[in-house]
Amino acid sequence: MYELIQVGEWTYYIDCPAKIGIYKCSENEVYIIDSGNDKDAGKRILKILTANEWQLKGIINTHSHADHVGGNALIQQRTGCDIYGTPIENVITKYTFLESALLYGGYTCKPLRNKFLMAMPSNPTYDITQNCPDGLEYIKLPGHYFDMIGIRTSDDIIFLADSIFGENTINKYHFFFIYDVKGYLETLDMVENMQAKLFIPSHAVQTEDIKPLIKINRDKIYEIINVILEICIEKISYEDILKKIFDKYSLNMTFDQYVLVGSTVKSYLSYLYDKGDITYTFEENRMLWNIQK
């Protein structure tokens, strides 16, 4: 864990739960792509940079989820480095309570104010869409979160962030967080047609051929869509839909999973409603979902 792996002349990554990219912009200066999930990850990153005599120029955040920005605060405090991201993700990176509040849909109680859902705040300094560092190209990857990006380095390595999840993760958890199902499917289509020397998803093994993993992700999304449609044959509330999904996939309900999977289920319901596949009614002050007949 936290092994440094070189994948190009100028590009490396740190193998950890959410892979951290490293791009050498000169012989002794680097940018990192994401920063791990907490201050301990930040310390490990700085230790690796110090061991290689690399000076940190900046952090590029693919998006503002806590496992990608959790090391920002400590690293920025110790180095004074710049932080780059897209505008809306920069806001959440600075005001990290927004992540848990958005997931919950209101003010969060203490169990949800944890490092997995609410990183320490940091201070983004640049909008990457206006100030992308030399040698790097940002790629819009909508779907997983509001304005997530990937990064292509000058030696043709693409960091795909959370646009793709690994087969083991999908088989174990079935659900991966999606904010916009339509956007996620469109991103899968786009990535499937990309050409690169190497693809590095944050939560899957590196690969030269991304197509098989694209299929696994896409198939799981359509499987879940069909499950939800079957559940909605009869009028049913969101809470009951969530219970049936947890039961079907033998998931363990915790407060974190309630908001993570629950938010994703709501995204699926929105997707199906916008497509005209399901509708809703209000009966006895309850919102009920039902397939469109």
CA distance 38 to 70: 4
Closest CA to 162 of 53, 65, 268: 65
Q: Is 206 helix (H, G, I), strand (E, B) or coil?
A: coil
CA distance 184 to 143: 4
Say what the pLDDT of residue 293 is: 76
DSSP string computed for 231-261: HTTS-B-HHHHHHHHHHHTTPPP-HHHHHHH
In this structure, the answer to whether residues 173 and 153 fall within a common structural domain is yes
Say which CATH number the domain at 181 has.
3.60.15.10
In this structure, the answer to whether residues 164 and 246 fall within a common structural domain is no
CA angle 127, 200, 261 (to 5 degrees): 80
Tokens representing 242?
């969530």
In this structure, the answer to whether residues 247 and 283 fall within a common structural domain is yes
Contacts of 201 (CB under 8 A, 6+ apart): 19, 160, 161, 162, 163, 164, 165, 166, 213
What domain range is 29 assigned to? 3-219
Q: At which of 219, 251, 274 does a domain end?
A: 219
Say what the pLDDT of residue 215 is: 98
Say what the pLDDT of residue 1 is: 83
- Cβ neighbours around 55 below 10 Å, total: 12
Closest CA to 78 of 61, 56, 62: 56
Q: At which of 175, 196, 219 does a domain end?
A: 219
Q: At which of 176, 193, 219 does a domain end?
A: 219
55-60 and 82-85 strand pairing: parallel
Give the C-alpha distances (Å, rounded to integers) separating 116 from 36, 66, 73, 103, 248.
11, 6, 15, 12, 25
The neighbouring-strand residues paired with 58 are: 31, 82
Q: How far apart are the first and last CA of the chain?
A: 52
The domain total for the chain is 2
CA distance 236 to 143: 26
In this structure, the answer to whether residues 212 and 233 fall within a common structural domain is no
Say what the pLDDT of residue 149 is: 98
Say which CATH number the domain at 276 has.
1.10.10.10
User: Across the chain, which distance is largest between two alpha carbons, in Å?
Assistant: 68
pLDDT per residue as tens, the chain (293 positions): 899 999 999 999 999 999 999 999 999 999 999 999 999 999 999 999 999 999 999 999 999 999 999 999 999 999 999 999 999 999 999 999 999 999 999 999 999 999 999 999 999 999 999 999 999 999 999 999 999 999 999 999 999 999 999 999 999 999 999 999 999 999 999 999 999 999 999 999 999 999 999 999 999 999 999 999 999 999 999 999 999 999 999 999 999 999 999 999 999 999 999 999 999 999 999 999 999 87
In this structure, the answer to whether residues 198 and 228 fall within a common structural domain is no
Q: Which helix H or strand E contains 270, and what residues bound it?
A: helix 255-275
Q: What are phi and psi of 24, to 5 degrees?
A: -85, 115
157-165 and 149-153 strand pairing: antiparallel
Tokens representing 55?
């000076």
Give the C-alpha distances (Å, rounded to integers) separating 268 from 123, 128, 242.
33, 30, 11
CA distance 196 to 202: 16
